[in-house]
Amino acid sequence: MKPPPRISLDAMGGDQAPEIVVQGADKAFAAYPDISLIFVGDERKISPLLKTTRYMQEADIHHTDEAVAPGDKPSQALRAGKNTSMWRAIELVANGEVDAVVSAGNTGALMAMSKLQMRMIEGVTRPAIAGFFPNPHGQSCVLDLGANIECDAENLIQFAIMGSAFYRDIHGGVSPSVGLLNVGEEDQKGFDYLREAAAVLGADSLNLNYHGFVEGSDIAGGKVDVVVTDGFSGNVALKTAEGVAELFQGGLRSAFSENISTRLGFLLARSGLRRFRHKLDPRRYNGAVFLGLNGISVKSHGGTDAFGFSNAIGVAVHMLQQGFIPEVKSAIHKARYILNKGINDRDE
């Protein structure tokens, strides 16, 4: 048995902090009653909120007055930093007092502070932001969503290893299928570094279920479980998908509110629509993770609610229960020989 997960929460990060952090923590505890949660932030604001919860009445608060502003650049946040709730919540992981941190605050600041305090897993050259997209039969993991705009073959191979482990920790299963995002499925497509990564990813000894190149449409199509790409393309894909989803949602809202008949139609179709909406509910796949760091740092969407925040805590819990960090350490260590060999062979 693994020890019960201990998680620090940046109580001041996010559009509706600390309310949704406290309520989300309460919901998460209901789902995972062996976890212990520590709130980091303004005690005067957090304390009265804890009184309103079911399970968080006695929860620990690490007080600090300061918080990272949503608009701060990572460099500003780092300068301002060591008394902010975000820094101090991460510090608890770095010190070993807790096992993971969850924040709905500024993504760039969380990334920079987490990297600085937790450092990288030995052998990992770049961290990646991984998140989930809905697809017809579940969810696809996509990484990198924007940590590194430029990536080489080695980065992508490491992302594939880390993304597979992450997918398995959250969704179970034995060997998630992995695809490399490209502009076509044919072997000759794309950049040199993509073909280089593809040649190595197929190696048996990496123990990955490598499918091959995939295209943008395969993300929401769910052709593979894990889609690996550089942070520029991953960010473009994520945000394009969000934009299209909003276009549909806005369009459907207008369509149903057009007249009495369409309103009535909506009411009659509501049971089906509700199931569909549930499937695409962004709160259900809330919780992006910085993979490659020597610790677990989960980024909740800044605008989520208590349900969404509790799911981000759930991501941390699953990663801890499944032993994500030791698993990735061992996989990256094993892969180093293959990586060096594979990439050098191709350079010759």
Which among 181, 171, 300, 297 has a CA at the least distance from the CA of 231?
Answer: 181
Q: Which of residues 272-331 bind a second copy (CB under 8 A)?
A: 272-273, 275-276, 279-280
Q: How far apart are CA 335 and CA 340, in angstroms?
A: 8
Binding residue for a second copy (CB under 8 A) from 97, 205, 267, 326? 267
Binding residue for a second copy (CB under 8 A) from 55, 193, 266, 307? 266
Letter for the amino acid at 163? G
Which of helix, strand or coil describes residue 187?
coil
Q: Considering the rule CB under 8 A, would residue 239 count as an interface residue with a second copy?
A: yes
Read off the DSSP letter of residue 204: G
* Stretch near a second copy under the rule CB under 8 A, chosen from 42-50, 260-268, 314-322, 323-331: 260-268
CA angle at 145 for the pair 141 and 150, rounded to the nearest 5°: 125
Q: Considering the rule CB under 8 A, would residue 193 count as an interface residue with a second copy?
A: no
Q: How far apart are CA 128 and CA 130, in angstroms?
A: 6
Binding residue for a second copy (CB under 8 A) from 220, 281, 321, 329? 220
Q: Which CB sits closer to a second copy, 148 or 311?
A: 148
**C-alpha 36: how far from chain center:** 21
Binding residue for a second copy (CB under 8 A) from 246, 326, 333, 341? 246
Q: Considering the rule CB under 8 A, would residue 96 count as an interface residue with a second copy?
A: no
Binding residue for a second copy (CB under 8 A) from 262, 330, 340, 345? 262
Which among 105, 132, 102 has a CA at the least distance from the CA of 238?
Answer: 132
Q: How far apart are CA 81 and CA 94, in angstroms?
A: 15
Binding residue for a second copy (CB under 8 A) from 218, 225, 305, 327? 218
CB of 2 to a second copy, least distance (A): 36
Q: Considering the rule CB under 8 A, would residue 235 count as an interface residue with a second copy?
A: yes
Q: Which CB sits closer to a second copy, 31 or 183?
A: 183
Instruction: Confirm if 37 and 59 have CB atoms less than 8 A apart.
Output: yes
Q: Considering the rule CB under 8 A, would residue 4 count as an interface residue with a second copy?
A: no
CB of 165 to a second copy, least distance (A): 24
Q: Considering the rule CB under 8 A, would residue 70 count as an interface residue with a second copy?
A: no
Helix (H) or strand (E) holding 155: helix 153-171
Q: Considering the rule CB under 8 A, would residue 187 count as an interface residue with a second copy?
A: no
Q: Which CB sits closer to a second copy, 57 or 240?
A: 240
| Structure tokens that stand for 220 in this block | 């929401």
Q: Which CB sits closer to a second copy, 33 or 272?
A: 272
Give the DSSP per-residue string, 12-58. Answer: T-STTTTHHHHHHHHHHHHH-TT-EEEEEE-HHHHHHHHHTSSS-TT
Q: Considering the rule CB under 8 A, would residue 69 count as an interface residue with a second copy?
A: no
Q: How do 100-103 and 6-10 pair as beta strands?
A: parallel
Q: Can you say whether the dihedral through the CA atoms of 167, 246, 300, 308 is positive or negative? A: negative
Q: Considering the rule CB under 8 A, would residue 229 count as an interface residue with a second copy?
A: yes
CB of 73 to a second copy, least distance (A): 8
Tell me how far apart the terminal alpha carbons of the chain are, to the nearest angstrom: 47
Q: How far apart are CA 196 and CA 344, in angstroms?
A: 10
Q: Considering the rule CB under 8 A, would residue 257 count as an interface residue with a second copy?
A: yes
CB of 216 to a second copy, least distance (A): 3
Residues that bind a second copy (CB under 8 A): 73, 134-136, 146, 149-150, 181, 183, 186, 188, 190-191, 215-221, 229, 231-233, 235-248, 250-252, 254-259, 261-262, 264-273, 275-276, 279-280
